[in-house]
């Protein structure tokens, strides 16, 4: 973002740029790590398209998943009723409303319905701030959200932020994280008063509450108080966020936008060490935070690291087991490192998107084994099934996505949404969860029921059958 | 829908005189004893003003505001010569999606069995400006109209818009959309204007069906809130509109036009620019036609 600092800071723009633009990320690739590493070392990753795609999240879904975790925040989805579907799923019970636009609103504009929905949500649930999310319908018919949010913010006396999601601008769902953070910081952020002596922001976006709490405990053990943002933050807590001495990434990819925006807007310094995953990764992360805070944390790291030998030893009977890692890029590379740390082997890596920022990690993976398969894309069950079968994977590691296709194949799944992986605690939990799954594959085979999830004609196709270079 | 009913769409650049031409055409057709419906497909809702003599008309989309049952009599009014006037309506400027509005209004009129109930001889659709998005192409698409007429003057921007409209007709006609009945030359004032429009029509594979001269009678009639047919029925201008009515009703020839590409259109325009300059400077060339 160095060049943006000299030009207009990203946070001053109307909304966040897509991940494709901001991070030069691509969302489609199937091939070897070696080939992709070569490409990443060149000028840019070549954009590719899928001629057949099964499913993909969009920015609206991702923004909703994130915003519903903020305590005290009311959510209004400005669109047809179905656009709020994400909020029906499991997750924190934030107060929310949907404007329920119909055919007539799509023609005549839905300002009136939006005003009504905001007023009703405010009257019935009393949120301390409200966010209004855009949908494909209002992006097309041009309903102006900010005119209404400014007007009602004044009327109701609480901050109301427009979040300019549209469902189609980006092929990468994680763009929604940036769009949500952009709206929150631009419209809800108080002014910075004075930095708190030893409090840092943990910039968590897609991580689980439990594992982030684990990181907070670890920091506290080192004498560092912390608050999380944006995931699991509170409206009142925003005051503490702007006054933190430092912001620290949890996932360098996902934390980036919030970290840079807090720095640009309120001058909070941003530190982005590699993810705290695995013993070495967590120790390095903790050391980076300690150094920035002027604290010696080596004793804490040594004490925590010493208790992990047993966890690794228990996995010895499964040494070399083939694990497919399917996670957002920064986490995927870190978890791949953890898998090796535990004596298992990495059969392949799947990521929703990948950009030039991962060139180093790709190079490292390719240096160890240039033929290791890499699949880029989200929600493409067919491609993942194809690869899992070919590789004979014994375990799939993913987060939050429904891995039914792997279970139908008889491959056990380790879902990081329920198994925390961050920090030293995470290593212990991950190792035990992996051990249990590798020791008891019968349950996954039972789910599979002996039937292939796809017909032979499909399975005979190569993984990259539907991925083509984009012609412009 | 009666098989004998002719559905005609009138397009053209904004401000070129589409509504004036369409309303006078409707009045002239009615004057000849035909049952006519004019549907204004423009959110400004002013297509049928001169036919209504100031009578209030609720637009089709306005009538759906409260979600109640809509009846034909709520969204139509009988104007001069028995012409049934309807305005599709749309959002206020700067909000919503007018193109979707045209689509929804026409769908609602079909649901209300407008054509079966009124049994018109001719239905005229007066459509907003260029075909700026798919919504404004609805009258051309899906076999809704029999023919399209494009109103143009000899101004380049009007010709440019007409050429764009030809592209839309060209796109939809092969799959059952309306074909082009021809060009209506409007506000013809300069001596070379007629030749220029004729040449454009010939180059794009169509024809001019009428030449409507610029006339103060039109402006005067509109200031009275009436069509020329009603306000100045004996004027030569009224005869022009009557002739136009006869042509579009009786001559049902239509074609798929061949719109010019951007470079072809630019070259064609430049050639005409030179011809007009030569004409003004008194240079005479063989077969100049001006």
ipTM of the complex: 0.74
- In chain B, what is the greatest distance between 2 CA atoms, to the nearest angstrom? 67
Question: Confidence class of residue B10 from pLDDT cuts 50, 70 and 90?
Answer: very high
Comparing alpha-carbon positions, the chain A residue that sits nearest to B65 is A104
DSSP characters for A194-252? Answer: ---TTEEEEEESSS-HHHHHHHHHHHHHTT-EEEEEETT-BTTTHHHHHT-SEEEESSH
Q: Give the Cα separation of A370 and A388 in Å (integer).
A: 18
CA–CA–CA angle A439, A409, A341 (5° rounding): 45
Taking CB atoms and an 8 Å limit, are A109 and B61 in contact across chains? no
Q: How far is B97 from chain A (nearest CA, A)?
A: 5
Secondary element (H or E) of residue A415: strand A413-415
The least confident of A360-374, B115-129, B195-209, B270-284 is B270-284
Model confidence band, residue A5 (pLDDT cutoffs 50, 70, 90): very low
Give the mean pLDDT of A455-460.
83
Report pLDDT digits (tens) over B50-100.
999 878 899 999 888 767 788 999 999 999 999 999 999 988 888 888 888
Mean pLDDT of A288-303: 94
Is residue B127 within 8 A of residue B99, CB to CB? The reply is: no
Confidence of residue A89 (pLDDT cuts 50, 70, 90): confident
Rg value, chain B, Cα:
19
| Residues of chain B with C-beta less than 8 angstroms from the C-beta of A103 | 100, 104
Pick the residue from chain A with its C-alpha nearest to B101: A107
Question: Using CA atoms, how far apart are residues A159 and A161, in angstroms rounded to an integer?
Answer: 7
Per cent of chain A over pLDDT 70 is 97
- A141 and B104 within 8 Å at the Cβ level: the answer is no
Report the share of chain B in percent with pLDDT over 90.
70
pLDDT per position as a tens digit, A394-419:
999 999 776 778 888 899 999 998 89
Region A75-96: mean pLDDT is: 92
pLDDT in tens, B170-197: 988 988 899 999 999 999 988 899 999 9
**Residue B239, class by beta-carbon neighbours within 10 Å (0-12 exposed, 13-18 middle, 19+ buried)?**
middle
- Give the Cβ contact number of residue B202 at 10 Å: 11
Residue B97: its chain A contacts at CB < 8 A? 106-107, 140-142
Cα–Cα–Cα angle for B68, B70, B74, rounded to 5 degrees? 125
> Which pTM value belongs to this model?
0.85
Are A143 and B95 an interchain contact pair (Cβ–Cβ within 8 Å)? yes
Res A2: pLDDT: 42
The stretch A345-360 carries a mean pLDDT of 94
Pick from B90, B95, B104: which is nearest to A111 by CB? Answer: B95
pLDDT tens-place string over residues B223-267: 999 999 999 999 999 999 999 999 999 999 999 999 999 999 999
pLDDT, tens digit, 9 for 90 and up, residues A151-188? 999 999 999 999 999 999 998 999 999 999 999 999 99
Q: Give the mutation candidate from A78, A102, A107, A139 for the B interface (greatest B CB count, under 10 A).
A: A107
Query: SS3 breakdown of chain A: % helix, strand, coil, rounded to 5?
Result: 50, 15, 35
Q: Name which of A114-118, A170-174, B1-5 the model is least confident about.
A: B1-5
User: Which pLDDT does position A296 carry in this prediction?
Assistant: 93
Q: What is the pLDDT of residue A91?
A: 82
Question: Does the distance separating the beta carbons of A103 and B95 come in below 8 Å?
Answer: no
Half-sphere exposure of B93 (CA within 13 A, CB side): 2
Residue A166 CA to residue A176 CA, distance in Å, equals 9
Task: Over range A376-391, report the average pLDDT.
Answer: 90
pLDDT at B280 over 80: no
Tokens of A136: 């494909």
* pLDDT attached to residue A119: 98
Rounded distance, CA A261 to CA A258, Å? 5
């Amino acid at each position: 973002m160095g060049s943006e600092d000299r030009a207009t800071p990203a946070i001053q723009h109307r909304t966040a740029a897509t991940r494709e633009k901001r991070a030069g990320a691509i969302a489609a690739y199937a091939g070897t790590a070696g080939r992709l590493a070569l490409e990443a070392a060149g000028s840019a990753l070549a954009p590719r398209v899928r001629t057949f795609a099964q499913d993909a999240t969009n920015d609206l879904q991702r923004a909703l998943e994130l915003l519903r975790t903020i305590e005290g925040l009311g959510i209004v989805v400005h669109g047809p009723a179905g656009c709020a579907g994400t909020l029906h799923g499991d997750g924190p019970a934030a107060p929310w409303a949907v404007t329920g636009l119909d055919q007539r609103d799509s023609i005549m504009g839905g300002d009136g319905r939006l005003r009504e929905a905001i007023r009703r949500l405010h009257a019935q649930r009393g949120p301390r701030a409200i966010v209004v999310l855009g949908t494909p319908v209002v992006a097309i018919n041009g309903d102006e959200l900010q005119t209404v949010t400014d007007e009602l913010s004044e009327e109701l006396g609480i901050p109301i932020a427009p979040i300019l999601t549209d469902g189609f601008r980006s092929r990468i769902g994680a763009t929604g994280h940036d769009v949500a953070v952009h709206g929150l910081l631009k419209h809800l952020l108080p002014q910075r008063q004075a930095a708190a002596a030893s409090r840092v922001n943990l910039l968590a976006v897609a991580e689980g509450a439990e594992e982030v709490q684990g990181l907070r405990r670890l920091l506290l053990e080192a004498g560092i108080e912390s608050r999380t943002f944006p995931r699991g933050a509170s409206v009142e807590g925003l005051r503490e966020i702007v006054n933190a001495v430092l912001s620290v990434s949890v996932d360098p990819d996902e934390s980036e936008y919030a970290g840079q925006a807090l720095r640009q807007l309120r001058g909070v310094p941003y530190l982005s060490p590699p993810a705290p995953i695995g013993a070495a990764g967590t120790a390095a992360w903790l050391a980076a935070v300690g150094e920035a805070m002027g604290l010696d944390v080596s004793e804490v790291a040594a004490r925590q690291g010493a208790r992990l030998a047993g966890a690794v030893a228990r996995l010895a009977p499964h040494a070399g087991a083939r694990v497919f890692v399917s996670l957002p890029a920064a986490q995927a590379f870190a978890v791949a490192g953890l898998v090796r740390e535990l004596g298992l082997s990495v059969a392949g890596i799947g990521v929703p998107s990948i950009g030039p920022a991962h060139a180093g990690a790709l190079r490292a993976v390719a240096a160890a084994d240039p033929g290791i398969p890499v699949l880029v894309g989200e929600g493409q069950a067919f491609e993942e099934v194809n690869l899992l079968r070919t590789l004979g994977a014994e375990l799939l590691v993913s987060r939050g996505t429904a891995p039914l296709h792997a279970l139908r194949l008889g491959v056990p799944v380790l879902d990081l949404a329920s198994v925390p992986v961050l920090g030293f605690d995470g290593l212990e939990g991950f190792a035990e969860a992996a051990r249990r799954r590798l020791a008891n594959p019968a349950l996954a085979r039972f789910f599979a029921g002996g039937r292939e999830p796809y017909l032979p004609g499909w399975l005979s196709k190569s993984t990259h059958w539907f991925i083509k270079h984009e012609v412009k | 829908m009666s098989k004998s009913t002719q559905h005609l769409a009138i397009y053209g650049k904004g401000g070129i005189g589409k509504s004036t031409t369409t309303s006078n055409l409707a009045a002239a057709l009615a004057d000849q004893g035909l049952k006519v419906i004019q549907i204004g497909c423009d959110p400004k809702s002013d297509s049928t003003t001169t036919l209504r003599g100031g009578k209030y008309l609720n637009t089709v989309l306005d009538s759906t505001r409260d979600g109640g049952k809509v009846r034909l009599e709520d969204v139509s009014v009988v104007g001069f010569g028995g012409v049934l006037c309807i305005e599709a309506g749309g959002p206020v400027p700067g909000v919503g999606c007018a193109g979707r509005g045209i689509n929804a209004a026409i769908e609602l009129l079909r649901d209300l069995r407008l054509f079966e109930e009124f049994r018109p001889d001719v239905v005229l659709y007066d459509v907003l400006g260029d075909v700026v998005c798919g919504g404004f192409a609805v009258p051309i698409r899906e076999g809704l109209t029999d023919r399209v007429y494009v109103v143009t003057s000899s101004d380049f921007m009007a010709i440019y818009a007409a050429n764009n409209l030809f592209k839309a007709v060209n796109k939809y006609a092969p799959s059952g959309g309306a074909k082009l009945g021809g060009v209506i030359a409007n506000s013809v004032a300069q001596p070379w204007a007629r030749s220029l429009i004729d040449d454009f029509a010939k180059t794009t594979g169509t024809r001019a069906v009428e030449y409507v001269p610029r006339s103060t009678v039109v402006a005067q009639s509109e200031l009275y809130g009436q069509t020329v047919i009603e306000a100045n029925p004996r004027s030569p201008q009224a005869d022009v509109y009557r002739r136009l009515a006869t042509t579009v009703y009786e001559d049902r020839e239509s074609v798929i036009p061949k719109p010019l590409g951007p470079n072809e259109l630019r070259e064609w325009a430049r050639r005409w620019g030179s011809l007009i300059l030569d004409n003004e400077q008194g240079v005479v060339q063989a077969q100049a036609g001006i």
